[in-house]
């Protein structure tokens, strides 16, 4: 398959590994922002192949994991309002809120439906004109344009019973929060490929410029990731800090202008709650006044009780890169994919799930 098999080629991977092993002398710690990268790094056993002086840590780039418990509670509360159909991507269903989950709410009678795209949600709205259909906008810059486009589409088609609960987030403010906190020291950042396909690689310039940390945008196949790590090693060893692209087939410096225009037409930046971080200034996407008729927060009075975090769960610390899942006493025992306690074990892009499924540091 074009653009897949050549990026899983073992000879190319071996050659890159040899370069990394020969070129890497300093002890370094690289963070991958994106949950998709975390899973790929674990699935392909990349951590075990790297020399011991390269430590890989996972960042906050799993969209459902960083959704704050209070925001999950809000989605569940929305599903309790009479006449509301909540539509969402599958990963959100099992994420625990303070007292329930969307899956449990559905089992208790709420109308919660899994969809594959916002187009499905719009279709449900068309087919149920007497109901209100709310889509949970979850994710980073990768999904935000499609959610924004669905609002524009609803307006153009005069679909008046479609709403969005906007919980989409912007990635750069979260990285900025990690770097400014001083909690961890990073020597390089694997920047997210799909986010950068929308934003362009220039949004990461501040990391190289202000924090002197090398950045490389990577794709999701093993050769992509090894190429990225090799480029990071080269920058570190040459004492450089710049933004490079190891995912040229998907990313350009200026990004996708059409998608960015759609986003800024519908959204304005706002403060947003993140699991493990609290409120990060300017990291959320609020629906602009011009589209307030499609804003679920405006349309419905959504009442929630104070949020309660799962006891003993270190998801917040894992998302900030301060702890690994192995530091969590519940990992692999009480908390596993069958009986997950926190979102990092539920989500297919969660760090705890990746450690459990592919890690080799513990007995299953
Ligand atoms: Fe939370 Fe479970 Fe991960 Fe521990 S192992 S941090 S309880 S998701």
**Is there a contact between 241 and 208 (Cβ–Cβ < 8 Å)?**
yes
- Structure tokens, 343: 């979102």
**Residue 130 in this model has a pLDDT that exceeds 70:** yes
Question: What pLDDT score does 348 carry?
Answer: 86
- Structure tokens, 41: 């790094």
Mutate to test the pocket of ligand 1, among 325, 326, 336, 354 (most ligand atoms within 8 A of CB): 325
Over residues 138-159, mean pLDDT = 97
Question: What pLDDT score does 1 carry?
Answer: 56
Q: Quickly state the pLDDT bin for 40 (edges 50, 70, 90).
A: very high
CB neighbour class for 81 (10 Å; exposed up to 12, middle 13-18, buried from 19): middle
**Ligand 1 near 314 CB (within 6 A):** yes
Q: State the closest ligand 1 atom to the C-alpha of 315, by its place in the atom list counted from 1.
A: 6
Q: What is the pLDDT of residues 78-114, one digit of tens each?
A: 999 999 999 999 989 999 999 999 999 999 999 999 9
Q: What is the pTM of this model?
A: 0.93
Q: Quickly state the pLDDT bin for 364 (edges 50, 70, 90).
A: low
d(CA 308, CA 280): 20
Tell me the CA–centroid distance for residue 335 and ligand 1, in Å: 6
Tell me the CA–centroid distance for residue 328 and ligand 1, in Å: 6
Q: What is the pLDDT of residues 253-280, one digit of tens each?
A: 999 999 999 999 999 999 999 999 999 9
Mutate to test the pocket of ligand 1, among 60, 91, 314 (most ligand atoms within 8 A of CB): 314
Over residues 152-158, mean pLDDT = 98
Question: What pLDDT score does 328 carry?
Answer: 97
Q: CA dist 359 to 9, 37, 157, 234, 363, Å?
A: 23, 14, 48, 27, 10
**Is there a contact between 317 and 336 (Cβ–Cβ < 8 Å)?**
no
- Structure tokens, 184: 């961890």
**Ligand 1 near 352 CB (within 6 A):** yes
**Ligand 1 near 315 CB (within 6 A):** yes
3-class secondary structure for the chain?
CCCCHHHHCHHHHHHHHHHHHHHCCCCEEEEEEEHHHHHHHHHCCHHHHCCCCEEEEEEEECHHHHECHHHHHHHHHHHCCCCEEEEECHHHHCCCCCCCCHHHHHHCCCEEEECCCHHHHHHHHHHCCCCEEEEEECCCCCCHHHHHHHHHHHHHCCCCCEEEEECCECHHHHHHHHHHHCCCCCCEEEECHHHHHHHCHHHHHHHHHHHCCCEEECCCCHHHHHHHHHHHHHHHHCCCCCEEECCCCCCCCCCCHHHHHHHHHHEEEEEEEECCCEEEEEEEEEECHHHHHHEHHHHCCCCCCCCCCCCCCCHHHHHCCCCCHHHCCCECCCECCCCCCCHHHHCCCCHHHHHHHHCCCCCC
Q: Quickly state the pLDDT bin for 2 (edges 50, 70, 90).
A: low
Q: What is the pLDDT of residues 325-345, one digit of tens each?
A: 999 999 999 999 988 999 999
Tell me the CA–centroid distance for residue 58 and ligand 1, in Å: 14
- Structure tokens, 290: 């011009």
Over residues 57-74, mean pLDDT = 95
Q: Quickly state the pLDDT bin for 362 (edges 50, 70, 90).
A: low
**Is there a contact between 214 and 235 (Cβ–Cβ < 8 Å)?**
yes
Q: What is the pLDDT of residues 169-216, one digit of tens each?
A: 999 999 999 999 999 999 999 999 999 999 999 999 999 999 999 999
Over residues 217-231, mean pLDDT = 97
d(CA 222, CA 252): 21
**Ligand 1 near 233 CB (within 6 A):** no
Question: What pLDDT score does 293 carry?
Answer: 98
Over residues 44-69, mean pLDDT = 94
Sign, Cα dihedral of 255, 256, 262, 263 = negative
**Ligand 1 near 331 CB (within 6 A):** yes
Q: State the closest ligand 1 atom to the C-alpha of 340, by its place in the atom list counted from 1.
A: 2
């Amino acid at each position: 398959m074009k653009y897949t098999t050549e990026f899983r080629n073992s000879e190319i991977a071996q050659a890159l590994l040899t370069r990394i092993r020969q070129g890497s002398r300093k002890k370094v710690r690289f963070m991958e922002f994106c949950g998709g990268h975390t899973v790929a790094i674990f699935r392909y056993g990349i951590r075990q192949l790297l020399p011991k002086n390269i430590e890989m840590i996972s960042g906050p780039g799993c969209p459902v994991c960083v959704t704050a418990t209070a925001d999950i509670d809000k989605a569940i509360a929305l599903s309790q309002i009479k006449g509301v159909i909540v539509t969402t991507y599958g990963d959100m269903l099992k994420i625990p809120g303070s007292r329930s989950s969307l899956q449990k709410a559905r089992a208790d009678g709420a109308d919660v439906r899994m969809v594959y795209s916002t187009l499905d949600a719009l279709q449900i709205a068309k087919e149920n004109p007497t109901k209100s259909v709310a889509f949970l906008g979850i994710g980073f810059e990768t999904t935000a344009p499609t959610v924004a486009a669905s609002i524009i589409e609803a307006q153009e088609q005069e679909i008046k019973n479609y709403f969005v609960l906007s919980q989409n987030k912007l990635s750069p403010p979260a990285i900025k929060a990690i770097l400014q906190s001083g909690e961890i020291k990073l020597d390089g950042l694997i920047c997210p490929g799909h986010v950068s396909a929308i934003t362009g690689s220039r949004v990461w310039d501040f990391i190289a410029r202000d924090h002197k940390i090398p950045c490389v945008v990577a794709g999701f196949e093993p050769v992509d990731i090894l190429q990225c790590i090799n480029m990071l090693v080269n920058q570190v060893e040459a004492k450089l800090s710049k933004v490079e692209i190891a995912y040229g087939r998907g990313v350009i410096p200026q990004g996708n202008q059409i998608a960015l225009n759609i986003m800024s037409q519908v959204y304005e930046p706002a403060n947003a709650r993140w699991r493990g971080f609290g409120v990060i200034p300017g990291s959320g996407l609020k629906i602009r006044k011009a589209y307030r008729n499609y804003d679920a927060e405006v349309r419905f009075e959504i009442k929630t009780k104070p949020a309660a975090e799962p006891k003993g769960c270190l998801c917040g610390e894992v998302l900030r890169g301060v702890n690994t899942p192995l530091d969590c006493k519940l990992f692999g025992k009480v908390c596993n994919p069958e009986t997950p306690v926190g979102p990092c074990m539920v989500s297919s892009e969660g760090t705890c799930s990746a450690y459990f499924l592919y890690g080799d540091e513990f007995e299953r």
